[in-house]
Amino acid sequence: GHLALTLEGGYNLEVAALGTKAIFDVLSASVGVVDPLGKAPVIRKAVGFEEHLKRIKEIHHIENQD
């Protein structure tokens, strides 16, 4: 079989490195994955994507399912 993984850490190399290590820890069945950074101090809401999403839905004929 095949396995595909994706990581999201933006351009923060420390976050990307820690996320990569956590994935390898899980895949190698290491006991306890540690998150030294903890939860994000601020949760940011994505702003400015509404118009892009609307246009993409129009192009691909996707109706809102709200």
Residue 20 sits in which domain range?
Answer: 13-59
Q: Provide the number of structural domains found in the chain.
A: 1
Confirm whether 5 is domain-assigned. no
In this structure, are residues 9 and 15 in contact, taking their beta carbons and an 8 Å threshold?
yes
Helix (H) or strand (E) holding 33: none
Residue 42 is assigned to a structural domain of this protein: yes
Q: How does pLDDT run across 15-62, given as a tens digit for each residue?
A: 888 888 888 888 888 777 788 888 878 877 778 888 888 898 999 998
Q: Where are the alpha helices (DSSP H) in 1-66?
A: 13-27, 50-59
pTM, to two decimals: 0.50
**18 within some domain:** yes
Residue 35 within any structural domain of the chain: yes
| Cβ contacts of 36 within 8 Å, gap of 6 or more | 18
Would 1 be classed as within a structural domain? no
On whether residue 32 sits in a domain, the answer given is yes
pLDDT of residue 18: 87
Q: Is residue 8 over pLDDT 80?
A: no
